[in-house]
Amino acid sequence: MRYLKLIKVFIKTSAQETLMYRANFWVSLLHAFLNLIVAVLALVILFGQTENLNGWNLSSTLSLLGVYLIVSAIRNLFIGPSLEALVGLGQEVWNGQFDFTLLRPVNTQFLITFRIWRLFSLIDLFLGGAVLLYSIFQTPQSPNLLAWLLFLLALVAGILILYAILLAFTALVFWNPGYLFTWVFDAIFQLARYPLGIYPVGVRIFLTWIIPVGVITTIPAQVISGQTGAPIVFLILAASVFLFLFASWLFNKGIKQYHSASS
């Protein structure tokens, strides 16, 4: 309850900060639409050449794009900005500002996860939801309640996996404050735009087992289009919990490494 109230305060404060730079709203709106148009256009061109790509057609690939947009919108809404405040040159861990975060009588991991909100990402969230719904209405057989439920579970698992990966990358900053680990991750995450199935075997294995970004979007999209069912969903749910626990452990170990910056 107390933590929910805190999240509310963080959202309110972030909104206030955002409103100081109102012009950014239009920039974000433009960016969101351009992003969407380019992505949809790429798919339309692709499926103009072929109807089926390793079992994926236009509407199921659109579902996947919808999931990708939703997941990245949630990432950009709070996980990304909050974690990015720690990492990189001139950022909290590097300049010692992290001292104040550590001094708060609130769970540190909670604080660094929910502190900063980029509310413009709600535009992306909305657009992603629209793409997903559109693609579902395109399919002849609409999903039943169970499919929706499994989809939500898969989506939660996907977001949890994404969070765990980002947190683990962030934790590495404590061993070397100037590193830019998350940039590497961004490049890899782009690959989650498309179904895992279209990649060569080697890439597929990498995106499933090494840095499991493929799983984050592919599984929920498969669930909603009826390509996969409950067992897989529970498998990735279990995997996501495991990754979350591992990343939290790594982060808390990292805090003990923290050297602060001299004054």
Question: CB of residue 107 vs another protein: minimum separation in angstroms?
Answer: 9
**Given the complex with another protein, which of 15 and 41 has the nearer CB atom?**
15
Nearer to another protein, 95 or 190 (CB): 95
| CB 89 to another protein: min, Å | 15
- In three state form, how does the secondary structure of the chain look? CHHHHHHHHHHHHHHHHHHCCCHHHHHHHHHHHHHHHHHHHHHHHHHHHCCCECCECHHHHHHHHHHHHHHHHHHHHHHHHHHHCCCCCCCHHHHCCHHHHHHCCCCHHHHHHHCCCCCCHHHHHHHHHHHHHHHHHHCCCCCCHHHHHHHHHHHHHHHHHHHHHHHHHHHHHHCCCCCCHHHHHHHHHHHHHCCHHHCCHHHHHHHHHHCCHHHHHHHHHHHHCCCCCHHHHHHHHHHHHHHHHHHHHHHHHHHHHCCCCCC
Nearer Cβ to another protein (104/146): 104
Name the site residues for another protein (rule: CB under 8 A): 2, 5-6, 9-10, 13, 16-17, 20-21, 95-97, 99-100, 102-106, 256, 258-260, 262-263
Q: Smallest distance, Å, CB 96 to another protein?
A: 6
Q: Closer to another protein at the Cβ: 20 or 187? A: 20
Task: Report the nearest approach of another protein to the CB of residue 104 (Å).
Answer: 5
